Each structure stands twice: as structure tokens, then as C-alpha cells.
Chain A
Amino acid sequence: MKIRTAKFFVKEGFGSLRKNKTMSAASISSVIAALLVISIFFIIVINVDYAASKLESQIEMKVYLHDNLSEAIVSSMTKELKTISGVQDIQFIPKAQALTDLNKQWGDNSYLLEGLEGDNPLPDSFKVTLTDPSKANSVALAISSMSNIERVVYGKEELEKLLKTTYILRVSSLVIITILVFISIFIISNTIKLTVYARRREISIMKYVGATDWFVRGPFIVEGILLGLFGSFITTLAVGIGYYYSSNLIKNQMIGLLSVTLMPFGEVINSLAMLLTAVGLLIGIIGSFLSVRKFIKV
């Protein structure tokens, strides 16, 4: 495409926005409405996802060992554990420390543990953190096959439930966002169709003097892109401000109640801006493409 042609498209696209102020405002409003719904959904999803991944990362595995292993064996086991894929970090917890931890955990009731110091019944253990909770099963299996292992313990059922829930959430959110994108493309293409309809004479004249289909589409696509970008910019701004204030509010009110915090503002706004810009562009381009289609056949 020639630079001059691109300039012509941009000039015509902007010109059409200016000339059809009411229609443009209506189109931008519908883009904003659609994007608002998408953003609210997106924010809920990424926050639940964020909480879930936080929970996932907290999942740890306890590996209990046989009694009375020599230091040499423990250190060779440490090395071996580190080579298992899916293991992020391991920490050796000697039986004495395990008892102290238990004491702390039981707090006021720790008197029940009095007298155990002499004959500590707790085994030595490893605390294993995982790179990816979905690998828990294979890691557990690999560890069990090593020698000197008494038992491997992790919240198997809870973990599986959590993984399932987050998976369903991710998939269903993707489906719903896709549906919303389609609905908004439909809305936008209908609104742009009105501007196209208003300019059908111009289109037929362009076709009569020998314009190619792409040339006719050009200005409308620029117009669609502009509508989509305006819409996504305004929505990002509005949702960003809304999220900033409400996340602060929630943080101050509920931090004591919930151990789960909202995703930080900076991360949300980045991914939201990217998502909305992409969706806005997509809506604009496809929407204008669809609306010109009918009138281009002259």
C-alpha cells in the first residue's frame, strides 16, 4: 500500500468520525458498554486465579523418614530429592525442630507435649515445595520409590479439587469472554453499518470510478480502529480508577478477615489495558469489515 493511500484512509476515517459525531458517540458507547462487561469479568477471573495460584504455591509436601539415619544419608537424600523434576525447594527438618514447631503451633495447649523431649516420637522429615502443583502426584511417586522413606504426605484431595476448580474457572472464563467479544463485534458492526449506510452513495461512486474493495474498506477500517481504541482507552481509564479505589477499600476493610488479597493494581492495569486494546482493535476491525461487506458488492 502506498503511503499516500494510507494517509487518505486516515484522513477519511477521521473525517467520517467528525462528520458523524452522534453515530460515533453511539458506537464508542456501545464499545465501552461491551468492554466494561468484559473487564468486570476479567477482573473477577484474574483475581480468583491469582488467589488460587497463591493457594497452589502454598501447597507443600512432607516426606517422613525412617529413624536414626546418618547425616551422610540425609545429605545424599537431599541431593537426590533435588534432582526430581517438579521439586522447587527442599528443607530438612530434624525431629527436634519438628517438636519445637509443634509446640509453637499448639500454643496454649503445648503443655500436652511436655515430657516428650526425652523420647521424641516425631520422625525426621523433609519439607518439599513444588514448582507446579499439578506435578504433585509424580513427585510423590518418585520420592516414595526412594529408600529410607517412611511416608509421603500432601493434601492430595484438596489439591486435586483446587486444580479442577481453577481449571474449570479458566476455561469457562475464556469461553464467556469469547462470547462477549462476539456479541460486541455484532453490536459494533451494526452501529458502523449505519455510518456505512449513510455513505452508501459514496461507496457506489468509489466502485464506479474503479476503486478496489480494499480501497473502499480502508477508511471504514480506520474508523473502526479509532472507535475501538477510543472505547478501550476510556474503559481502561474508568475501570483502572475504579479498581484502584475499590482495591484500596477492600484491603483496608477486609485484610484481617481474608488471608487472600486482591491482585496488585499495577499488574491488573497492565493486563487489562492490553486485553482491552486488543479486543477494541478486534471489534473495530472485524465490525467495520462486516458492515461494509453488504454495500461493497456494486
Chain B
Amino acid sequence: MIQLINVNKKFANGHVALNNVSLNIENGEFVFLVGTSGAGKSTIIKLLMKELELDSGKIIVDDKDITKIKRSHIPHLRRSMGVVFQDFRLLQDKTVYENVAFAMDVVEAASKDIRRQVPMMLGMVGLSKKSKQYPHQLSGGEQQRVSIARAMVNSPSILVADEPTGNLDPEMSVEIMKLFSEINQRGTTVIMATHDLHIVDKMKKRVVEINEGNIIRDERRGGYFSENQNR
């Protein structure tokens, strides 16, 4: 379970990114974080990854207060979370296979686990046949699928995605969302910040809307806009 308790974050330039935000996310949930740019969606993700430090409040992940963990324990926290970015962040000089295996190399996994796990993940995202290609030979959607395979290869319990469909056309976005949905059905908690109203409306999952650092809506099965809002 992920709990944000009275979280405040103000940037050095005075911009209030999060204003006393509290949020509970159960294990196995699928949560969209929506809102305009600069509303605070990415800040929540960065706080979860410990890329940023909060000013006050608590963030509890699996019963641990991550605001109190030491710098040397951050890697272990991150191993329990997979992360997917808008710009894929693949290594251009490594093949698809190597990009996914890299995430396992980095956590010092055993070679035999790597040889078993990487093809399995590539199979899951439907890229088994392209394992020897380089990222620039793939379409945007395929690249994002590689990055999802990389995020999932260490079997994290939480998958965090920051605008994963931001660089993709609508057809590809649908494909990617199917994948996230599948991952979620297998029990992984998915937290996704997005601008993409089509996918949010289509998925009918929990929607948390943030505006100027405040949570202004939290709907169990919501759309991109609230019911009483003018479209």
C-alpha cells in the first residue's frame, strides 16, 4: 500500500507543487493522476522514487516511511518499483535484449535468471522477434514496450508511469494501455500520470485530479473530466 500523508512540497522558486496532499493507494490498484502541466502529478512520482525530498509530511510504501530512509537504501526502494517515462529512456547503443537485461545487470541478478526472465518479458510485450534490434530501428510504441519490459523485468510490486503515451499516436497508445492493464491484472499496482483524456475515459479506472498542488477530485471509476464539468 502507498500512503501520502499531508505531503507538502515547495520548489526553490517558490512554486507550491503539492499543498498538504493525502492519498491512499491500495495494492493492485490502477490509478490515473490527471491535471494540467505543473499541477503536481510528476512531483508525486518523483517523491515516490525519492528523486525529490518533500518539505513535510510522510510517504509510506509497504509499511515503510520512505521519507526517512537513508540515501544508501534508495536503490532498494527503487527496485520495488518499475518506472516508465514519456521519452522511453532506452540506451541507443544497446539492443532491445540488452536494454532489458541491463536492468537486471544493474541489480546484480544471476545470469541464469537474466537468461530466463528477459525473453519472458519480451514475450509479454510482444517483441520476442525484435530482441536483436536497436531502439532506433523500432517505432515509438515498440520502444515504449521495451521500456515497460525493462520496468517489469525485476518483478516490482508497483509500476509508475509518467505520461507513457505522451509521445505516441492514438493507436499505439491503445496498445500500450492494454499492456498496462494486463500488468495490473497480474497484481501490480499501477500509478500513471497522464494528459491523455481518451485513454482515461476508456479505461474507467480510479482518477485522482490535481490542480495547483491540491487534490480536487478522487473518483473510483472516473473519466478525465468530472461528471459535472463542462466538456
The answer to whether A and B belong to the same complex is yes
Within the complex, the shortest CB–CB distance from A15 to chain B, in Å, comes to: 9
Q: Does A154 contact B (CB under 8 A)?
A: no
CA distance A259 to B91 in the complex (A): 65
Q: Are B72 and A212 in contact (CB under 8 A)?
A: yes
Q: A4-B111, A298-B51 are contacts. A210–B91 as well, Cβ < 8 Å? A: no
For the A-B complex, the count of residue pairs with Cβ-Cβ distances under 8 Å equals 51
Q: Does A111 contact B (CB under 8 A)?
A: no
Within the complex, the shortest CB–CB distance from B155 to chain A, in Å, comes to: 12
CA distance A209 to B102 in the complex (A): 9
Q: Are A209 and B91 in contact (CB under 8 A)?
A: no
Q: Are A210 and B76 in contact (CB under 8 A)?
A: yes
Q: Does B169 contact A (CB under 8 A)?
A: no
Q: Does B207 contact A (CB under 8 A)?
A: no
CA distance A208 to B153 in the complex (A): 13
Q: Which residue of B lies closest to A201 (CB)?
A: B89
Q: Does B63 contact A (CB under 8 A)?
A: no
Within the complex, the shortest CB–CB distance from B189 to chain A, in Å, comes to: 17
Give the contacts of A191-214 with B (CB-CB under 8 A).
201-202, 204-213
Residues 74-102 of chain A, each 1 if its beta carbon lies under 8 Å from chain B, else 0: 00000000000000000000000000000
Q: Does A186 contact B (CB under 8 A)?
A: no
Q: Which residue of A lies closest to B107 (CB)?
A: A210
Residues 91-124 of chain B, each 1 if its beta carbon lies under 8 Å from chain A, else 0: 1010000000011011110110000000000000
Give the contacts of B132-169 with A (CB-CB under 8 A).
150-151, 154
Q: Does A19 contact B (CB under 8 A)?
A: yes
Q: Does B79 contact A (CB under 8 A)?
A: yes
CA distance A216 to B83 in the complex (A): 18
Q: Are A212 and B75 in contact (CB under 8 A)?
A: yes
Within the complex, the shortest CB–CB distance from B92 to chain A, in Å, comes to: 9
Q: Are A211 and B89 in contact (CB under 8 A)?
A: no
Q: Which residue of B lies closest to A5 (CB)?
A: B108
Q: Which residue of B lies closest to A215 (CB)?
A: B106
Q: Are B108 and A4 in contact (CB under 8 A)?
A: yes
CA distance A208 to B102 in the complex (A): 12
Q: Does A41 contact B (CB under 8 A)?
A: no
Q: Are B89 and A205 in contact (CB under 8 A)?
A: yes
Q: A19-B93, A202-B91 are contacts. A209–B107 as well, Cβ < 8 Å? A: yes
Q: Are A211 and B107 in contact (CB under 8 A)?
A: yes
CA distance A4 to B104 in the complex (A): 12
Q: Does A21 contact B (CB under 8 A)?
A: no
Q: Does B49 contact A (CB under 8 A)?
A: yes
Chain B hits for A207, CB < 8 A? 75, 78
Chain A hits for B110, CB < 8 A? 4
Q: Which residue of A lies closest to B77 (CB)?
A: A210
Q: A19-B93, A201-B89 are contacts. A210–B108 as well, Cβ < 8 Å? A: no
Q: Are A210 and B105 in contact (CB under 8 A)?
A: no
Q: Are A2 and B108 in contact (CB under 8 A)?
A: yes
CA distance A204 to B90 in the complex (A): 11
CA distance A207 to B85 in the complex (A): 14
Q: Are A201 and B91 in contact (CB under 8 A)?
A: yes
CA distance A215 to B74 in the complex (A): 13
Q: Are B108 and A215 in contact (CB under 8 A)?
A: yes
Q: A201-B91, A202-B91 are contacts. A209–B78 as well, Cβ < 8 Å? A: yes
CA distance A2 to B114 in the complex (A): 15
Residues 56-82 of chain B, each 1 if its beta carbon lies under 8 Å from chain A, else 0: 000000000000000010011111000
Q: List 12 A-B contacts (CB under 8 A).
A: A2-B108, A4-B108, A4-B111, A19-B93, A201-B91, A205-B91, A209-B107, A209-B150, A210-B78, A215-B75, A215-B106, A298-B51
Going nearest first, the 3 A-B pairs with the smallest beta carbon separation are A210-B79, A210-B78, A211-B106
